[in-house]
Chains A and B, each alone.
Chain A
Amino acid sequence: DVVMTQSPLSLPVTLGQPASISCRSSQSLVFSDGNIHLNWFHQRPGQSPRHLIYKVSNRDSGVPDRFSGSGSGTDFTLKISRVEAEDVGVYYCMQGTHWPWTFGQGTKVEIK
């Protein structure tokens, strides 16, 4: 199985400041059609995961533009330009190229 490794696992942030989460895959995520299925999710306590970013850098409908995804090869990044209180929770990267789809361990974002 493809191993997804996130860092850091805990990220205390100051409101209004930027935040960045790294995700590394154990192998290439390039699909047969050339797409890279690296996705990001946000899960608040007691809630289901919310789809934020798909195919590395595409924001899902309704996702604020302070969220951005980037990366290539096996290294990917989720950035929040200015953290807001509603951004707390756990962020997961996930690869949807190779079955079984696999998730990173999660990065817990909290306000300092």
Chain B
Amino acid sequence: EVHLVESGGALVQPGGSLRLSCAASGFTFSSYSMHWVRQAPGKGLESVSAISGDGGNTYYANSVKGRFTISRDNSKNTLYLQMGSLRGEDMAVYYCARETILGGSNDYWGQGTLVTVSS
């Protein structure tokens, strides 16, 4: 059974940094592209970043480009999101999500981890 478990969410001050992790199990992690999707309180869903199975290709939303870095460690079956220069608008639940094997959608999602940006 596929499991995705996010961790690392916390209260951080504006301008601060945070690293999120997503531990994956139940599938061959290195064979799948992975995504981070966020949801601000009471709002809709926003794709933040994605990374190919081998980590060679990364993608970012314009809103986080230059501030966030996605990475993965296939030996540990873990996805990461390094977040820097955090702003109030970055406050959200961050979900990691697996991309479908043929691409184009996200079939499994974690339970999410909350990032709060406040002084």
Contacts from A to B (Cβ < 8 Å): 1, 31, 35, 37, 39, 41, 48-51, 54-55, 60, 92, 94, 96-97, 99-106
Contact = CB atoms under 8 A, between A and B. Distances in A.
Contacts of A104: 44
Contacts of B108: 51
14 contacts: A35-B104, A37-B105, A39-B106, A48-B112, A49-B109, A51-B105, A51-B108, A51-B109, A55-B105, A60-B107, A96-B105, A97-B104, A101-B35, A103-B44
B45 A94 contact: yes
A54 B100 contact: yes
B87 to A, nearest CB: 18
Given A48-B109, A49-B109, A100-B62, A31 B44 contact: no
Say what secondary structure dominates the interface of chain A.
loop
B111 interface: yes
B45 A103 contact: yes
Sorting the interface of chain B by its residue count into under 10, 10 to 19, 20 to 34 or 35 or more gives 20 to 34
A50 B95 CA distance: 12
Interface of B: 35, 44-47, 50, 59-62, 95, 100, 102-112
A96 B104 contact: yes
B104 A39 contact: yes
Closest 5 CB pairs of A and B: A37-B104, A96-B104, A48-B109, A39-B105, A101-B47
B44 A105 contact: yes
B95 A54 contact: no
